[in-house]
Structure 1
Amino acid sequence: MNANDTIREQLQSLAAELQHRLERISAHERHEEGPPSQDFAEQATERENDDVIGALAVDTRHQLGLVRKALERLDAGEYGLCVECGEPIAPARLAALPWAQLCVKCAAQREKR
């Protein structure tokens, strides 16, 4: 098994985990865990929870998209290269964020914008 196979396995595992998380979130959003409460205070809490769950769904979909893009870059032979400047992304950054698209320098510049 070469390094790309290991990276691919890691990214595919992460994608599967994120997909599973989305399925659980979707089930919660459809209230498959049971009927809504009859208590007004509990309903207010459930609505707040729904807002949090909705935000989690958005974040999870975004992260899943980044992981899928990383897999596409791996297939294209471009994984580990910054999509802005083309320079290699530091191995420590890829270890922490295997879906990273930008090197530290370009990420910092983008943050300033």
Structure 2
Amino acid sequence: MDAATIVGGLATLCSTTSFVPQAWKVIRTRDTTSISTRMYVVTVVGFSLWLTYGLLLWQWPLILTNGICLLLSAFILLMKLLPRRQKEKVAEALDPAAG
């Protein structure tokens, strides 16, 4: 394996796992008050564009990485925007023990 592949793999691992702790915290606590809506809107748009770019080039590393990051960041944004009652339902479905 060459250095570029190793660095790319590590970057993918860091990028895709960076949203997991925040998503899990939102599920467990149902609290999104400290999350910036604007920041997550920009992040979701950015990952959407990166995913489109990867699809246009048919580059699987870009498609996979940005697809996963888009799903996780869009989930966090959705939870931020949902009314409390719907947020509770989603979180309960994903982690019934936390309710």
Sort the TM-score into its range (normalised by shorter chain): 0.3 to 0.5
Select the structure that is richer in helix: 2
TM-score (normalised: structure 2)? 0.45
Higher RCO structure, 1 or 2 (CA under 8 Å, sep 6+): 2
TM-score (normalised: structure 1)? 0.40
Larger radius of gyration: 1
